[in-house]
Structure 1
């Protein structure tokens, strides 16, 4: 797999080709094909790095080409392009956003546009808010899902995005075609921070009806465990930011702690069904969650509680077997007290 340095070199070459084409006499918009191809292969988790790289290289190469082609009687004319939305000039970013039309070339460029909702210039944020719905509507659903995934996984660190703009993106995500795509992604992904994506999508009820399906079928054990926990607790919670907590004011010490928000959900699945399903999951991570909730509601299964507890106590995982032994001990204590 190519590392960051190799991918960066590919991007630099593609930006150079684009800058060369956009400054040619016959083409004022440029040929983005090589840049689109190069950015389609990128992991969006590194988009900060690639955005800075593309902006800097585009300016450098554009200036170089302009100097080599300059003639005092020719005034260079350049139409706005997708790269203007990441210009260092706020006026250009705003103008570039309003000039966009049609679908995004790929998920990378769509993400660049959505990131302008966190721009430090208010007018740019407003422009992004106006054009994003139309661009998303015309873009490929798979590109929209990838772009929104990248945004949802990182927007806790965005200090300038408005609450209404967050709600706009979440509302867009609830469109049926996208909601189905997100569910599929949560279930089929074998890597990546799917539990975090699940939490962010949990701000709205698009996943409520398929929670049980996710809990039973997700490829990642942590994703199944997260879904089962939500079903047991009848709530979905997510991180909305961080706040500073002093640990020692005398020595000026402290730490950032996550700020949690939650949404209650309606669960129609009986506790016994949830427990019996999760207790026999192939992953100890899920079985641990199952044992935890049996401890919380030890009276819920009646005589079946001991059978499940014995299964937990014999589990190969120490964390699960410890909980199983604890439940058996509690059951024995309860039996003695009742005699």
Structure 2
């Protein structure tokens, strides 16, 4: 992959310095970057920046050929530039959608840029770029950002609002739903929680709870439905546990929002109790313990079912529910 990226960068640089009036061809670079893992985005960005400007110098026309001096138009590759002025101008002059997920993710990364003017330019122009881009590219880029933005020191609340507004658009929301439902690995529960800041998927939470492939996503969706609220990590703060010995730990700051959708509680509890994953069944057992007094005869049926569960974390909760029911019957 690295060789393909370097080759694509060099081809693009040569086409820019060719002196031709035809628009430079970056198809080879787009093809190479389409297969790149986004988890190493910073590495690939540095590689492209170094190779691109090195190749531009190597293929430049001699200075004495002033009649054949090529004009360098700003391109998607200039998002990697060392020059903050060039990065800002590039964002403001982009008039088409991102060619793939990699380049859309580069735009998103500029929300954490050290130059304030670059972040402002992204905030203003990102909605238009997202609208012109393939929704799948936008969804993939957003998933990368949503799982990491709490570690970004420069991103602001206004930037997050812009991203959430993009998520609420129908094409992007549909692409995100498919990705979260069908994803088998990665931080999908975290992404699902961050998307829950807005009511975009409130009416579809039951669909996530029943049909998501990843068990942790189903467990998160069921918990939100039962508790009637979405929760997410807003950020982190340091809490001292013992100042004398300079001991402490990082604590999560949790954000909450009440759900706007209604729930068929008993039906959903039965569905969760029969889920193939013990993660989801454990959530159902915890909710059973909390709602024992309001479930009537169904409480004992479910408690018996959980007490016989093959997972220890579930059967322990089932046993606890049965003991609590026995105590209640004795007191009555």
Task: State TM-score, norm by structure 1.
Answer: 0.92
Contact between 2:15 and 2:25, CA under 8 Å: does it hold in 1?
yes
TM-superposition CA deviations, 1:24-53 (whole Å, max 9, x none): 222685321111001111222221221122
Is 2:87 aligned against 1:99? no
Q: Secondary structure at the match of 2:49?
A: helix
Indicate if the aligned counterparts of 1:156 and 1:240 stay in contact, CA closer than 8 A. Answer: yes
| In 2, Cα distance between equivalents of 1:52 and 1:256 | 31
Alignment-derived partner of residue 124 in structure 1: 118
The aligned counterpart of 2:227 is 233
Pairs within 5 Å for 1:31-70: 31-66=25-60, 69-70=61-62
For 2:63, the equivalent position in structure 1 comes to 71
User: What is the alpha-carbon distance in structure 2 between the residues aligned to residue 9 and residue 318 of structure 1?
Assistant: 50
Contact 1:236–1:263 (CA under 8 A) maintained in structure 2: yes
1:256 is paired with a residue whose SS is strand
Contact 1:272 1:300 in 2 (8 A): no
Match of 2:300 in 1: 306
User: In structure 2, do the counterparts of structure 1 residues 64 and 328 end up closer, same or farther at CA, with 3 Å as the change threshold?
Assistant: same
Provide the residue aligned with 1:315 in structure 2: 309
The secondary structure found in structure 1 opposite 2:276 is coil
1:176 aligns with 2:170: yes
Give how far 1:306 is off: 1.1
Equivalent residue for 1:243? 237
**RMSD of the alignment, in Å?**
1.6
Superposition pairs for residues 151-162 of structure 1, below 5 Å? Answer: 151-162=145-156
Unaligned runs of 5+ in 1: 1-6
Q: How many residues align?
A: 330
Indicate the residue corresponding to 2:78 in structure 1: 84
Deviation per residue, 1:165-210 (Å, 9 max, x gap): 2111111211122222222222122222211111010000001000
1:27, 1:83 → 2: CA distance? 19
Alpha-carbon distance in 2 for matches of 1:224, 1:117: 31
Q: Aligned-pair distance for 1:14? A: 1.8
Displacement over 3 Å in runs of 4+: none
- Indicate the SS of the match to 1:250: helix
Alignment partners' CA distance in 2, 1:229 and 1:25: 61
Corresponding residue for residue 104 of structure 2: 110
Structure 2 gap ranges (5+): none
The match for 1:8 among 2, 11, 25 is: 2
Relative to the length of structure 2, the TM-score reads: 0.94
CA shift in 2, pair 1:258/1:27, >3 Å: farther
Q: Does 1:262 align with 2:259?
A: no
Residue 114 (structure 1) shift: 2.0
| CA-CA distance at 1:121 after TM superposition | 1.0
Q: What are the superposed Cα offsets for residues 272-326 of structure 1, whole Å, 9 maximum, x if unpaired?
A: 1221110111111100100011111111211121111111111111111111111
